[in-house]
Amino acid sequence: MSNKSTTSSQLFDLLKGTWRGEGRGQFPTVTSFDYRETLVFTRRDEKTLAYEQRAQKHYDGGTEYLQSHWESGFISILENDELQLVNIQIGGRSEILVGTIESLDVIFRVHFVSKTLANDPRMVSSARTFELEGDILRYEMEMQTTKVNQSTPHLKIALQRIK
């Protein structure tokens, strides 16, 4: 196994479990919002990590969080040691993103960039960055749409391992 595959496999083992946190969403075409999220990673085999992501949005003026987004998919180690994230989201949008992993002392960072987006004609591109440091997982997502001409931050959250 190559060093990159070993690093990917090690990252998968470290991500296994349930993560929760609160974050902030923004984008030029939407009102900024607070949200909370649960992210569950399950190791499927040597090269595959399944995940399920559920988010609840806090609407201005309200006291409750309401279900707003869910997606599920897989992160796989490709033959060239890149990572591939494949997901399906509420409403039917699907994405295939390809990424690379960096190991920086006690931090693992993965940056994914979209290769295929389907079932949402508004989407032009998306990118996601995960940064794992101990029991803290930071996540950022940016996107470009037909109304916003450049890749622009959309989501930012810090999640804590809960089990």
User: What domains, with CATH codes, occur in the chain?
Assistant: 3-161 (2.40.128.20)
The predicted model gives 27-52 an average pLDDT of: 95
Q: Does the pLDDT value for residue 150 go beyond 60?
A: yes
How confident is the model at residue 2, as a pLDDT? 41
Asked if residues 137 and 19 have their Cβ atoms less than 8 Å apart, the reply is yes
Amino acid at 63: T
Contact residues for 65 (Cβ-Cβ < 8 A; gap 6+): 35, 36, 56, 57, 58
Give the residue-averaged pLDDT of 39-55: 96
4: pLDDT strictly greater than 90: no
Per-residue pLDDT band for 62 (boundaries 50, 70, 90) equals low
Whole-number average pLDDT of the chain: 92
**Mean pLDDT, to the nearest integer, of 74-93?**
94
Mean pLDDT of 109-117: 96
- 31 or 50: which carries more pLDDT confidence? 50
Could you tell me which residues are beta bridge partners of residue 102? 109
The reported pTM is 0.90
Question: Closest Cα partner for 144 from 28, 55, 34?
Answer: 28
What is the H or E stretch that residue 152 is in? strand 152-161
